[in-house]
A and B are shown apart, each in its own frame.
Chain A
């Protein structure tokens, strides 16, 4: 029996990475290493104003004084920050006005990834900003968005075209002093997406960014800034893939979200960076700082993430509930397989009155992987009548993996309610046998069970993304009828 079970798990665990191809495209690469000259080089390449360069240099100098954090439940091999290239961009690509101008190789890549860049895919209702290695390649849907005064563009463009907005908000949620990787990102970030929804505007399409690391020996450091002004709404999607390589590649992104009065931001991620091979060689180190602030009263931020990729994930999408009556949610499915390690969770910092937060975390550990939930719930002195409900479930497949839960709760106001639930389960043989007796093979049965387990989170995803996410989990699609 044990053998049969291990066979199931192995087959499930050994599915090949689908997006492991590379694109043959001429790249402009910064020399390896990190110093002030490189920071200047990046800023210069991007034609940035002085204030941006100053910001970068300040961050770089601060970073030099910091140490890599070591409190996580992760075994991180030593990273030689001088052995990386901090900027890579497809050569000769100042700006694309239409897809015809884009290198066909690049288009091919995006097609392979199923990224709806082409015009006909406008029907899917997603505006896409694609970040290839370090440079934003193409933002679709500009016209529609322009009519509503929505700004959705690459970070580089935003710095040039909307400097006041960028200046006002960049680093306001994740300051460059926040942590080691945030400081590094602030110093060398190459591009990313910027999004501003003006007062009272409900963004009619899903905004989406796809990140792709292509070039070997590079790190990717993109920066996303989303601002939802009073009474606005936006749903934002983010997807990531990378080629299969034997080396580890560093991805250290920063995402900042600002939600003003009565606005709502929904941020969904399907993270599928290359996880390394079955022996644990290669893969992306995904060290990401994502944080939102419910700045205004009655504002709402909702994080949904499906994490299946990366060799190592270190990521805690968090929300500061500053406004009264603000709401924050965090829904997460994290799958670790083979030798993957994930230390992920959320922080909910309640400052405003009557603020409410929900955390639903579903970890799935397969193979010899380690899956950790780490979360913090904090009620500040003035967070009267606030509430948090956290639910952390772990599913173990096989007997060689690990699931760990580290919840931290800090309450400074005694009118609030904090609830924490946690479960650990294994896929039971009698469940598998039941499904198999109805005619499902092992893989279908496991997929169905995992799908059911993660359902609470998957149903939070926008339709377009849900399909991709379920496919990612190699799960048969829920409810093509009924």
Chain B
């Protein structure tokens, strides 16, 4: 069974059609990258998949782990194992990272009919995940994203992903706001989290990120749908030719 099947997805924002028949299948163990010029609907795809309100699906279907994803509320999709690393993570003043993560981890455990995580297990999980991503203790003690630098916010997204171990993680413009050292570090963490049971959908404007997280498939998106798919070499080709040339080639 495929992890996710996206069929002929049409999405409107404020009655304007942004996604115009998007198709994509992802299996467990795969890493897909979606590239494309600004304004082609890459982030809209991410938002529509996780179920943000204001994104109106007008046609198509999405089957995630055999279930109709579009029928689910935003939090149900998350509990089913869909994770979005936000392009612009928001600040949650006054809510400590630890309290936030404990609440979230326990919400998931409850969803799976498990008891709340024990303090020891929880702290071990925090320790392991923060070491993997390179989050320091100071960050953990602060309120969620409050006063974090752009890079810290992105790291924090991957830290949360490491804590939650989703089946499918969508990384929306992960490289924006990250300096090259942080980018390498975060990419390394993601590579360590890759396994045969999970999958990643990487949305990026630049090829740079894909030097460090090597995808199995690259898709080029334009005007609300995929116009070209290929292996990792497609990203290289794109880098040398630019979007205009590669799309006019089709």
Q: Which residues of A contact B (CB under 8 A)?
A: 1, 4, 428-431, 433-442, 444-445, 448-449, 451-456, 476, 478-482
Q: Contacts A448-B99, A452-B93, A455-B94 known; list 16 others, CB within 8 Å.
A: A433-B53, A434-B90, A438-B78, A438-B104, A439-B111, A440-B104, A440-B107, A444-B107, A452-B92, A456-B94, A479-B98, A480-B102, A481-B98, A481-B123, A482-B96, A482-B98
List which B174-204 residues lie within 8 A (CB) of chain A. none
A454: contacting residue among B50, B53, B94, B164, CB under 8 A: B94
Is the pair B90, A482 in contact by a Cβ cutoff of 8 Å?
Answer: no
- In the complex the two chains form, what is the Cα distance from A276 to B182 in whole Å? 55
Chain B residues near A451 (CB, 8 Å)? Answer: 94-95, 99
Contact of B50 among A428, A437, A455 (CB under 8 A): A437
Contacts of B94 in A (CB 8 A): 451-456
Contact partner of B95 (CB less than 8 A), chosen from A1, A433, A449, A481, is: A449
Closest to A453 in B: B94
The smallest beta-carbon distance between B138 and chain A, in angstroms, is 13
Of the candidates A430, A438, A479, A480, the one having the most CB atoms from chain B within 10 angstroms of its own CB is A438
B162: chain A residues within 8 A (beta carbon): none
- Give the complex CA separation of A438 and B94 in angstroms: 18
Of A439, A442, A453, which is within 8 A of B93 by CB?
A453
Out of B52, B78, B79, B123, name the residue touching A482 (CB < 8 Å): B123
Residue from B79, B104, B123, B164 having most chain A Cβ neighbours under 10 A: B104
Q: How far is it, in angstroms, between the C-alpha of A451 and the C-alpha of B84 when the chains are bound?
A: 24
Chain B interface, number of residues (Cβ within 8 angstroms)? 35
Q: Which residue of B lies closest to A439 (CB)?
A: B78
Interface residues of B in 145-173 (CB under 8 A from A): 160, 164
Complex alpha-carbon distance, A438 and B75, angstroms: 7
Question: 12 A-B Cβ contacts within 8 A?
Answer: A429-B53, A430-B90, A437-B52, A438-B164, A439-B78, A439-B111, A439-B164, A448-B95, A449-B95, A456-B94, A481-B98, A481-B122
Q: Does B132 contact A (CB under 8 A)?
A: no
A335: min CB distance to chain B, Å: 15
Q: Is A431 a contact partner of B92 (Cβ separation < 8 A)?
A: yes
List chain B residues, Cβ under 8 A from A476.
99, 103
Question: B212 an interface residue at 8 Å Cβ cutoff?
Answer: no
Q: Decide: B102 and A441 in contact? CB cutoff 8 A.
A: no
- Docked-complex contact A452 and B143, CB < 8 angstroms: yes
Query: Across the interface, do A481 and B102 meet the contact criterion of CB distance under 8 Å?
Result: yes
Which of B89, B119, B123 lies in contact with A434, CB distance below 8 A? B89
Give the interface of B toward A (CB within 8 A).
50, 52-54, 73-75, 78-79, 83-84, 86, 89-96, 98-100, 102-104, 107-108, 111, 119, 122-123, 143, 160, 164
- Given known pairs A439-B75, A440-B75, A481-B122, the reply for A434 and B107 (CB within 8 Å) is no
**Given A481-B123, A482-B123, A428-B107 contact (CB < 8 Å):** no
Residues of A within 8 A of B104 (CB): 438-440
CA distance A443 to B149 in the complex (A): 29
CB distance from B43 to the nearest CB of A (A): 13
* Interface contact B86-A434, CB-CB below 8 Å: yes
- Measured between beta carbons, the chain A residues less than 8 angstroms from B84 are 437
Instruction: Identify the closest chain B residue to A479 (Cβ).
Output: B99
CB distance from A286 to the nearest CB of B (A): 27
A448–B92 touching, CB < 8 Å? yes
In the complex, are the beta carbons of B53 and A4 less than 8 A apart? yes
Complex interface: chain B residues within 8 A of A441 (CB): 73, 75, 107
- Among B54, B78, B93, B96, the residue within 8 A (CB) of A478 is B96
Given contacts A4-B53, A476-B103, A478-B99, contact A437 B74 (CB under 8 A): yes
Complex formed: what's the CA distance from A452 to B94 in Å? 4
Residues on A with beta carbons closer than 8 Å to the beta carbon of B123: 481-482
Query: Across the interface, which residues of B come within 8 angstroms of A434, CB to CB?
Result: 86, 89-90, 92
Which residue of B has the minimal Cβ distance to A482? B98
Contacts A444-B103, A448-B100 known; A435 to B53 CB distance under 8 Å? no
Contacts of A448 in B (CB 8 A): 92, 95, 99-100, 103
Give Cα A4 to B73, complex, Å.
Answer: 11
How close is B163's CB to chain A, nearest CB, in angstroms?
Answer: 10
A451 to B92, CA, bound (A): 10
Tell me the minimal C-beta distance from B124 to chain A in angstroms.
11
By the criterion CB–CB under 8 Å, are B92 and A437 in contact?
Answer: no
